[in-house]
Amino acid sequence: MKSPVISGALALGLAAFPAMAQEGGLDAATLRADAAALFEPIPDKVEAIRKSEISPEGHKITPEKVDLGRSLFFDPRMSKSGLISCQTCHNAGLGGADGLPTSIGHGWQKGPRNAPTAFNSVFNVAQFWDGRAPDLAEQAKGPLQAGVEMHNTPENLIATLKSMPGYEAMFKSAFPEDADPVSFQNFAHAVEQFESTLITPDGKFDLFLKGDDNAMNEQEKRGLRAFMDTGCTACHNGVNVGGQDYYPFGVVAKPGADVLPAGDTGRFQVTKTVDDEYVFRAAPLRNVALTAPYFHSGAVWDLKEAVQIMSSSQIGTDLTPDQVDDIVAFLDTLTGKQPQIVHPILPLRTEQTPRPAPM
């Protein structure tokens, strides 16, 4: 995790330069220069997935892998029940999330945390609220096996995929170098590749960053200024305006148990380090206007309320109502062009395909 001292320093910065927060922010060139030091626009395309523990060489995005990944992403037969797909909780029509406080999975079980958006997730430092998966390939393996999500096993998944000539052909075409292309690892890679195409460039904020002074209106610019000057950017920066590192939830004051349930200690469950208690990956704020409800608990439906909670628990300063409105207006500019996806026509099952087992 990053030291909360950074937040403190920036919160202090606000007090030290109040004039900048109120005036200088509205000069577009200055605002852009300040923002460019903290953020990057979403690129138009991801050409390759970055190096990671799983992919030490990184790997190039190919149309064949993306196509396969799209089918896998939308196919409910990847779950034990035959009912739940990646799309169930990462709905391509709902900003890549499910709009539920916490997801519903196998047997109508309630999951422990709010489903993070799949959109732009390729830009996050790691996946899940606690960062326990280093990349999207490892991420994809989690929900598939989780008892409260898709409740499948790698063995049953591979038996399912190998039973369908349509999938066999797609794996062969996507992984031509592999002698046995239908593997759990290749399943995960293909899903990762498809998800890496789920990016949302050219939101108003991106257009502003790229040089269009008029892409954001005055209120949105004031919101960006306030977002930087009040210390929000200590945790929410980079291309995803968050998602780039870990921070304690409640740097200044812990929010109530409805928002921060005591039972979920966050990254501590991954690292078993006391310093990581109630530490979470900073929420990436791209398309945040589309992905209510908020926080890992999914307890807050209103973006304004979410900003107020962040203000008191993270930066320890009560934002004025105008500042909150301005910041919410700025956050709305993080909504980018949503991906247009043709729903896949899924491969045909055969008599060898394991039957769905919803009960």
Select from 294, 289, 292, 296 the least CA-distant residue to 338.
Answer: 289
Q: By rule CB under 8 A, what count of residues binds a second copy? A: 40
Q: How far is the CB of 92 from a second copy (least distance, A)?
A: 5
Nearby residues of 184 by Cβ (< 8 Å), 6 or more positions away = 141, 154, 157, 158
Q: Which residue lies nearer to a second copy by CB, 214 or 340?
A: 340
- Binding a second copy (rule: CB under 8 A), the pick from 18, 43, 176, 358 is 358
351 binds a second copy (CB under 8 A): yes
Residue in 138, 149, 192, 195 annotated catalytic: 149
Select from 236, 218, 229, 234 the least CA-distant residue to 330.
Answer: 218
112 binds a second copy (CB under 8 A): no
Q: How far is the CB of 151 from a second copy (least distance, A)?
A: 12
29 binds a second copy (CB under 8 A): no
Structure tokens at 141: 């393996």
Helices (H), 163-263: 165-174, 184-195, 204-209, 218-229
Structure tokens at 136: 């999207």
- Binding a second copy (rule: CB under 8 A), the pick from 16, 56, 179, 340 is 340
Structure tokens at 32: 């852009």
- Binding a second copy (rule: CB under 8 A), the pick from 34, 98, 138, 206 is 98
Q: Which residue lies nearer to a second copy by CB, 100 or 146?
A: 100
349 binds a second copy (CB under 8 A): yes
Can you tell me the distance from the alpha carbon of 15 to that of 119, in angstroms, rounded to the nearest whole number?
Answer: 36
Can you tell me the distance from the alpha carbon of 241 to that of 280, in angstroms, rounded to the nearest whole number?
Answer: 15
Nearby residues of 72 by Cβ (< 8 Å), 6 or more positions away = 78, 86, 187, 190, 191, 194
132 binds a second copy (CB under 8 A): no
Q: Which residue lies nearer to a second copy by CB, 158 or 346?
A: 346
Can you tell me the distance from the alpha carbon of 78 to that of 347, in angstroms, rounded to the nearest whole number?
Answer: 12
Can you tell me the distance from the alpha carbon of 203 to that of 336, in angstroms, rounded to the nearest whole number?
Answer: 4
343 binds a second copy (CB under 8 A): yes
Q: Which residue lies nearer to a second copy by CB, 98 or 206?
A: 98
Q: Which residue lies nearer to a second copy by CB, 97 or 215?
A: 97
Q: How far is the CB of 55 from a second copy (least distance, A)?
A: 28
Q: How far is the CB of 33 from a second copy (least distance, A)?
A: 32
Active-site residue, 277 included? no
- Binding a second copy (rule: CB under 8 A), the pick from 10, 34, 74, 130 is 74
110 binds a second copy (CB under 8 A): yes
Can you tell me the distance from the alpha carbon of 136 to that of 92, in angstroms, rounded to the nearest whole number?
Answer: 16
Contacts (CB under 8 A) with a second copy, residues 263-292: 289-290, 292
Q: How far is the CB of 355 from a second copy (least distance, A)?
A: 7
159 binds a second copy (CB under 8 A): no
Q: Which residue lies nearer to a second copy by CB, 7 or 103?
A: 103
Can you tell me the distance from the alpha carbon of 304 to that of 308, in angstroms, rounded to the nearest whole number?
Answer: 6
Q: Which residue lies nearer to a second copy by CB, 21 or 78?
A: 78
Distance of CA 155 to the CA centre of its chain: 28
Select from 253, 305, 303, 300 the least CA-distant residue to 278.
Answer: 253
Can you tell me the distance from the alpha carbon of 86 to that of 294, in angstroms, rounded to the nearest whole number?
Answer: 20
Structure tokens at 129: 């609220």
170 binds a second copy (CB under 8 A): no
48 binds a second copy (CB under 8 A): no
- Residues designated as active site: 149
Please give the residue ranges that form the binding site for a second copy (CB under 8 A).
71, 74-77, 81-83, 88, 91-94, 98-100, 104, 107-108, 110, 289-290, 292, 301-302, 338, 340-346, 348-349, 351, 355-356, 358-359
